[in-house]
Structure 1
Amino acid sequence: MSIWGKLFTAMRGGANEAAESVVDSQAMRILDQELRDADNALRQARSDLAGMMATAKRIEKRIQDNRAKEERDIHNARSAMDAGREDLARGLAERVAAVRSELARDEADHANMQQQQQAMLRTVKDTEQRIAAMKREVESVKATDSLQRAQKAIASSHAGVNSRLGSAVGSLERIRDRQAQLGARLEAGAEMAEIESGADLDRQLLEAGIGGKTSNADDILAEITGPRELKALPRS
């Protein structure tokens, strides 16, 4: 394959991927629209079925009326023959023949319509069940989609919180370091002040027992309980 053919194939692949991406992003909207279309088609099928059933009832009523008319005309034709009125009987016979011809057409139409009606009823019921099942699936998919979006938002928020906490911990450590450095500097400054004032040298001399005397509790108790010097009484 030439380079131009490969480029054309790559472009077609990219276009297909872009189209699929658009379809995926609008999947819920497309699915809802398809369900609405199915509902509309089902309502139209119910309307057509209702019209067919109404027509079948009209034909059935006409069949019943024609059968009653046939029975009545035959009865009257017999009565006319008994009365010697063959002309009336023949006229009734001709009408019965016409009624029977109409009955044959109506009965054939009614039988055919009954078959179509039963087939349409089965189709409508099957379509209703399929649409109901699809709606349940759609609700499940929507619930899953909402849950996944919530989980994604929580995960993103958690990641952001962890990032902010990490930044806060780093800031806290830096603050502690600065405090420790400042404390060390203050302590060193105090020591330098003692050296400069001579207080540190005096303290070192006292600790070495030079240039002064330190007393503790035992020394003081010994001083209290030791022998006392007698003072001379004044003469009278």
Structure 2
Amino acid sequence: MSSIAEAQNLTDRIAELLREKLILGEWAPGQRLSEAALCESLDVSRSTLREAFRMLTKEGLLSHEPNKGVSVVVPSIASIIDIYRVRRMIECQALAQGYPMHPALERMRAAVAHALACRDREDWLGVGTANIAFHKAVVELADSERLNVMFSHLLAELRVAFGLMQDPHFLHAPYVEMNQQILALFEAGKPDQASRALNDYLVHSERLILAAYARRLAEKGIKG
């Protein structure tokens, strides 16, 4: 492998690690990222880290301002509406046409079980992470690596938006049982009903998030 290819592979891996941190909710919207700290923790050069930053900036996850550095974006209301539009198109179709014995089913079950365990110990950020895992598994039913990659980017954007609300209990608690119900319908051989339930879920989630998000933006004086 050439040195150029090796450098690109390293950049891709670093970008994926940064993206995963966003999906896990480790960074808040508007938070400035320290190049020095990340270079040390990831054991990479500044040039590699900056290239990874550029990749995530193109994806709409980070923003760069001259003399201010790189920070996590504050998503707009319009972008959240668009994310949910795409989610309904991808997830509901994947569930409706999903093969009942698909390996992703086991990951859906594991995500629901993890969410229940986190709820019992009131780990609401953990519930949110389990919820992300459930929906990633739903998309995996479509057997499309392109969709998996695109959906991962969408979830990173959405998790960033969640961070501004600062109330993970309010945000995630209602959906533990909803995911259980969707899983039960799919396991019972009722993919169409599961898909409709998921669509209702996403509509409810979008309305809840937009209302709370708009309030939060107003409190912070941020224009959506």
TM-score in terms of structure 1 length: 0.21
Q: Could you say which structure has the larger radius of gyration?
A: 1
Structure having greater relative contact order (Cα 8 Å, sep ≥ 6) = 2
